[in-house]
Structure 1
Amino acid sequence: MEAESDKFWLLGNPSWWNLIGENPPDFMNGELAPPHPWVSTTPRIGNFGWCRQRMRPLAWSLLRPLAWAPFFLATSSFPLAFPGNTINDQAVSIALFSLFLSLLFFPIFSSRNSQPTPVTTIRSLPIDWPFFIIASVLFPFHIVHDPRLGWLSYALFWVAYFRSISLVQKSMMAPSSRFLLPIDRQDWEGVLPHPWKVVSKQWSRRELANANFENGSISLSGTSRSGQDFLAISFIHKSGFILDPFHDNTSKEDGLTEFLASPIPIVGRQWPTNLIPVLEEE
């Protein structure tokens, strides 16, 4: 099973982009090769060097639930605006509102945590927490003070939703990809030039070093596949989502292009043949 999935471990599964009868190209729109003097390669070439690994596009798990969420937020107001048409107006309204929250929070949380990211806190999710908190705190006061406060709270939930969608879009400013380099564990000596911050001098399958930027950080981590160890470099958005470090959109991050002009001083090993797809003539 793993041998079959190895075929598209780097290029990505063609079904993710609705490619029928063809394989993903080495470079898609916006994808860049690491600059000289980085030693890089592509899945079709192999040999030595850093190679891009594409991850499943976030649109698969986010677009549909986030598109349905406002429907349930809108319908949650109907039992209260037009009372007496359900068995229990308040219970129906709460159920519909709970569906709205579930379709907003859970897909974002599960999509982010399905990626190999070191940022896993709920607080870091691309959610407009201030507006959600204000709306949630304000809502109970409509019961004891003024019913109009309930509608004000409802309006703020709409604001929080749209602002959260904007934050999600910003956290997906580039595709989810990272660059991998095959190594032996002893190749990692835990020494990198400034401004890298070494997190672990011992090899491990977690974050080893990072460097901070305005909207996230460059992260260097350890990972393994089919008995082979790798260094993985990616741009981690402050929301925790993994973004391609060498992409037109991430290159707009202030200082990132200059930082990535110098390669990591580790040569690496040859790519294992089982991870280099044998592709038919296209």
Structure 2
Amino acid sequence: MTKHLLAGFAACLAAAGTANAFTPRVSDGVGVTEFEEWTFVTPEFWVKADDQGRSQFTLGSGVIAVADPDEWDDLGGPGGAGPKAPRPGNPDQTFDIGFNSQLMSPAVTVPTSGPVAIQFDYSWRPEDSQQAYVRAVYGDGSDAVLLDLNTGNTADTDMPDTNPDINATFQTVLAGLPSDSLALAFEMVDAGNDWWFAIDNIRVFNPLPGGEVYLEENFDGLLPELTGVLDDPEGAPLRNVGEPDERPGRLSDGTLGWTQEPPAGWEINTDDFVSTGPLGGPLQVTGVFGVTRVPEPTTVVLGAIAMGLFAARRR
């Protein structure tokens, strides 16, 4: 008996050690679970949560990646309950900065001499303190900001003629890279009940004719993983009096439209991710306020093993 228990113990430890590093979020009534940190949705699901200009992102299709603290705040109001930072020039007032999440691509091997082109489609609607950055993260530990969406665009509007970032394509070409290992980091930081940053159709490639493609991701491979609403809307607070008893983000027609889990090799860094923005960074504000996750697999496995060993000794 002991021999078999020890063998099972070793097998469970091995399984725990190789478990997916992604730990799912759970419904806790604080923040819309579908939109706590980066998430992956169909445009239909996202727009039905509330349009407010989200339908303007026509370059995104199939499945898109979204960081949307506006939708996150629609259950329990976590934006106003989380960390705050003084407003620059007016320390008597504060910004809510409780939403800080990073989506990281797999590292790919690229020629340090270049040329290395980086391209993706995105949608960005700014408000208050929220910040968005896209960084090149190199194998030597250095990084470089490729796109800073906070400079030159403070137009809190969904009108394309006023906010050109509501439906846009970014492209740059790099040369003289410090390392042959390159990953992309997409960051939404220093946000409260603000707006969104959405991306799709990421490519890292040699822009010369016939050049190699190093990374290509449109998130459509997640279509088989999509589910409906996670939270039961019964008992959830209504957004406005007179609206149906459905929490924003739920599709009443049962359309499957979202998943928490990223594509293979991609990572959502939230719990240990320190804000890189000008407000949250100096305060060392970490993660997204109010996120609850399922127990770590290792904890569950070890707890079950301990109970099993205890029961076996009592026999």
Common fold: TM-score over 0.5: no
Structure 1 length as normaliser, TM-score? 0.30
Bigger fraction of residues in strand = 2
Bigger fraction of residues in helix = 1
